[in-house]
Structure 1
Amino acid sequence: MEKNVLYTKVKPIMEKLVQYSEKPLVITGKFAGSFFASYFRSKLFFFFPYYHIGGAEKVHVKITSCLKEYSPIVFFANKSKSSALKEQFMQSAKIFDIGYLNNPLLIYFWAGVLSTVVNYNKNCVVFGCNNILFYKLIPYLKPDIRCIDLIHAFGGGIENVSLTYVNRLDKRVVINSQTLKDIKKQYSLNDISEKMNDRVFLIENCVQIPERIIRKNNGSTLRILYVGRGSEEKRVHLIGKISRICHQKNMPVEFVLVGDVKNSIPEQDRIYCNFLGEIVDEKRLSEVYNSSDILLLVSSSEGFPLVIMEAMAYGLVTISTDVGGISEHVHNGYNGFLVKDDSEDLIIKNTCDIISELASNKTLRDKISTEAYEYAKMNFNCKDFCMKYRKLIYGK
């Protein structure tokens, strides 16, 4: 409590300090950047937040890989929790991590440094996602430099930060139709010209699709999987409660959780869960998907999670709260199940009811599994994904 009070008092002071320091920090940054700008030669610069494990980070790796022929340079603006995906980024680009040096006081210094670096490269492209530094950099870029951003989901706050820079963004990418609608609504509410809508492009994410799905051979036990973070909007504590109730009702289930989520589960519910921790190795993660039957998500907000795409590609039956853009691809009772984003008690009850039905009806499980796989094969392939990003950035 004391920490929160202190933060509340200090925050406005810090904001004023940053405001008054902007110009001198940018000038200092430009001076510093001038000494080594010539060492950063590229036609494509990415500004991503992290290289730790996460759905958004996997998408960023894929985008970088699609465009590796242009020798991109990637700057990581925030401090990563681990180096899980660092090597994968390095396979497609030169990378520079400034996250451990970046903070609110220095953000304008880095805007000065990096604008000088980017401006040294004529007619290049700057592509950013999910970090404030990218947007603070934009006003200091030369007019011939094209700026593109990617919005994974609406409601996280970054869409409000980006609003100031809409007129300078040549193109914007969203990953689902719901976010596209949200952006257009935001523009309308803020009196931004309808012409700006033409700069927003829908490019859905992709995953590698196995040649075939493997029917699970685990007896009568259903393996229910969660993959992701333990952050607040994921509501992982509900999965712990669902696991406990399913076991108390003697359902033939096993709950498996991938990610740093153990502390997000109430202690009394942990005995009903099998925690695998973070899995970086794609082969190992593939084995986990192949040995699972159901993917369970109970988030309060989402864009369209990459984990659902991965699960469908392996023929898992998805059970998810109906939030964000999930219903665009998960069709209730056809290739997965949607639970109304209601009270936590109702989410738990409705999810347990679906699990009970699936546990007692193998024919239904197999039907949904097949439809999920076929849908993923048709809609989530990476060939189209790469083609769209190349066309977006270079028109070819």
Structure 2
Amino acid sequence: MSKYQAALRKKRTELVLMYPFVLLGKIAGYFFPLKTQHRHFLFFPSADIGGSVKVNAEITECIAKEKPLIIFSKKPRNNKFLPMFQQEGVRILDLHRYIDYKWYHFVNFFFRGVLSTWINRAEQPVVFGGESLFFYKIIPHVKKGTRRIELCHLNTWFPFSLGFIDDMDQRIFSTPKIKRDVERQYAENHLPQKYYDRLLFIDNKIDIPPLQPMNTAPPLQVLFVGRGAPQKRVHLIAAIAKAMHQADEAVHFSFVGDVDAILSPEVKEYCTLYGQITDAAALHKVYRQSDVLILTSAYEGLPLVVMDMMARAKVVLSTNVDGIPDYITDKENGLLITETTEAGIVEQGVQLLTWLIRHPEERGRIGTNAYTYTKAHFSKEVFDAAYKQLLL
């Protein structure tokens, strides 16, 4: 039995066992209908700070004139992005108090019935899930003809969602890497072409400022932004900074994030440590003051900082891992470290930064190409047009 068949069997068993509670909810939904009319039903986990949540809010803004109904299903940790969802015409139902507790999970089953009745009474309903587990639980209960669309930023839930792919009309992925991951899953389960035809990649969007003149005055300002997590391998950036300092190159390194414990006292003497910056304006000021973003990650999707720096015509210097080469073409709109050993990464990183110091005109050319790429792929116009075509 394939993993797909096992996931289907598990889903069907659960549907049978929960049916009495779902049926009761369907009846309740009929006698207690929504007081507002909606065609679009958006299922999101919460309004906590995060990249995927920001994208959910941007999708909400894109179709706000359609007066969608948002259903939050997870207990929030901070809910600080809630104002981004509170837009004119948008109604929000936060159900986490009822459906996010396993010790009375039958209430969750009940609300699946209630919500599916509300959805089924709408004309040409559209159900959209943005990283929401509850979305998968709802879609088996909605009427035939409902458009069911999922957005994936991570492959974390792919084993679980495999059992629901028959219930989804479209699966959207925010990076080509994530789309390839699910294509491999389909191939391993010998699934037919019709499932591949439902897969779609749409880039996220960012605010793109006007193109500014490139700074060519020394020193070369090199920036790292991110967490001090092991996969980021910040110690390799520290080693690059040390080697260039010892070579007396005209370069300065800055770090944004919780990396203080990773850097040695020696490196800290000739680097700038900003710590964690939560204010967007302050962070963007650091971006503007920098020339190069450096990443030495062991694996990476597409960090928002890469998009932000490309949008400011900065040079992205990154290890050639996972989703990075889907966006960065070496010596065209960025620089790629192709070495895989730690010593090789440090050596090549030093070589490429030295090349940028010696060739400021190349820094300008690459930065301008990065900006042009950003306008073509990450703009609000491109993002909104793609999602409106899907949802409206």
Query: Which band: TM-score by shorter chain?
Result: 0.7 to 0.9
Contact 1:50 1:78 in 2 (8 A): yes
- Aligned to 2:327, which of 326, 329, 335? 329
Alignment match, 1:319: 317
> Offset at 1:148?
0.8
Matched, 1:137 2:134: no
2:87: which partner in 1? Answer: 91
Residue 289 of structure 1 pairs with residue 287 of structure 2: yes
Per the alignment, residue 183 of structure 2 pairs with 184
Q: Please state whether the residue corresponding to 2:290 is helix, strand or coil.
A: coil
* 2-structure distance, mates of 1:47, 1:341: 42
1:22 & 1:346 partners in 2: Cα distance? 56
Structure 1 counterpart of 2:364, from 366, 369, 373: 366
Question: Residues 28 and 170 from structure 1, CA distance in 2 versus in 1: closer, same or farther, beyond 3 angstroms?
Answer: closer
Q: CA RMSD in A?
A: 3.6
For the pair shown, the structure with the greater C-alpha radius of gyration is 2
- The change in CA–CA distance for 1:142 and 1:265 in structure 2 (over 3 A counts) is farther
Deviation per CA, 1:168-197, whole angstroms, max 9, x where unpaired? 001111234443333233212213221112
Q: Aligned residue for 1:161?
A: 160
State the identity as a percent: 29
Q: Does 1:151 align with 2:148?
A: no
Q: Could you list the per-position Cα deviations for residues 37-82 of structure 1 after superposition, in whole angstroms to 9, with x for gaps in the alignment?
A: 6256422222234534433333222222111111223334445554
Letter in 1 for 2:298: S
One-letter identity of the residue aligned with 2:146: I
User: Aligned partners of 1:351, 1:288: CA distance in 2, in Å?
Assistant: 21
TM-score w.r.t. length of structure 1: 0.79
Normalising by structure 2, report the TM-score: 0.80
Select which of 329, 336, 339 maps to 2:337: 339
**Secondary structure of the structure 2 residue equivalent to 1:226:** strand
CA contact (8 A) 1:240 1:270 kept: no
Going from structure 1 to structure 2, the CA distance change for 1:181 and 1:20 (only over 3 Å counts) comes to closer
Count of matched residue positions in the alignment of Structure 1 and Structure 2? 373
1:167 to partner: Cα distance: 0.6
CA distance in 1, matches of 2:268, 2:26: 54
Tell me whether 1:23 sits opposite 2:10 in the alignment: no
Structure 1: which 5+ residue stretches go unaligned? Answer: 1-18
Task: Please give the per-residue CA displacement for 1:362-394, whole angstroms capped at 9, x wherever unaligned.
Answer: 222122112211222233222122111111122
Query: What is the CA-CA distance between 1:203 and the residue it aligns to?
Result: 1.8
Offset at 1:325? Answer: 2.7
C-alpha spacing 1:192/1:108, structure 2 compared with 1 (3 Å): farther
Query: How far apart are 1:350 and its partner, in Å?
Result: 2.5
CA contact (8 A) 1:25 1:109 kept: no
Is 1:265 the equivalent of 2:262?
A: yes
Of residues 218, 221, 237 in structure 1, which corresponds to 2:219?
221
1:87 positional shift: 1.8
1:203 pairs with 2:199: no
Q: Among residues 15, 33, 58, which one is paired with 1:62 in the alignment?
A: 58
Change (3 A) 1:237 1:134: farther
User: Which runs of 5 or more structure 2 residues have no equivalent in the other structure?
Assistant: 1-13
Flag the 1:368–1:20 CA change in 2: closer, same or farther, 3 A. Answer: closer
1:278/1:284 CA distance change after superposition, 3 Å: closer
